[in-house]
Structure 1
């Protein structure tokens, strides 16, 4: 996983300050209820308790808490759809995308029959009125049995996030850099909160 940028309120410094205040308050309450043993070197046991509580809060929020205690879009799961590329005259190619997301980290993989790509950086923007989306840079590698014309290349994809009748949808466009120099469109919808393999995802989609 790599870090990702976001303009969401719940990714700002105020969240860290809030956790710090909670940790200090909890440590103070613990000190009032329990006699903490003296620490070597005159280390304040209450301060250590506050640090431990703060670390635990951050860990729990990073892994799970943000899903219920923030407005950050949760994109976790398997998505299926198709790519329409300028390569091969605009042919439509089935694709599967898997998103693994935490509070501050994310990893996106996108697969087709010919290639597999993974993200190197990403941004989730939500605070612009009418403009909620995901933007990421990726590295795409051809599969072993892919056409000889395919080669490893980089690209950028920008997709809007919208609510559909069957849940969240992603749609947008991409372009690739040197070595490929193509462009196209991507449309996806989430088919599972679990992480499905390429074949299993296409089978469920069909």
Structure 2
């Protein structure tokens, strides 16, 4: 097993070691919570999509890609923790990727929300609890970005180091893998055997391309 040289102040005495260990575990648990939460959002979007027989727009698809990237950052550190110690560089790289993905997703979503505030703009469809999907996407990106910033600022206290949660790790990674596979299939259903997604999709084109409808 590889070793990792702690860069912060060394804990002294049993109490210091216990506090440091709790911090390492909290950091890893939060990474799991982050991955599980974003995976649940992605799978929930699919439930709403197929439940309402909706079709994701190119912007909606782009938002899902950014959400997947935001989850892949901490998932990277989780995967490493199952094999060996997590280094500070790996911890920062994982959460840095998550933060960049959240910023990219927010930047892609904000113009659509601003356009809806113009006079005469059509009312949003497919609302959940009174909020449009784009609004929920921006809220999710903001919350995930805030979590990533906290993990980066408190790196010395919350980096997982040699902590591990085998069963929880398998669950989180499997759920994220399912979200990736199902969202890929959902996009393929809309795009069909074509090179691009329609701007205003109204059907699952793959079913027509294959002669099933």
TM-score tier after normalising by the smaller chain length: under 0.3
- After TM superposition, the score normalised by the length of structure 2 is 0.26
Higher relative contact order (CA 8 A, sep 6+): 2
| Greater strand content | 1
Q: Whose radius of gyration is greater, 1 or 2?
A: 1
Bigger helix fraction: 2
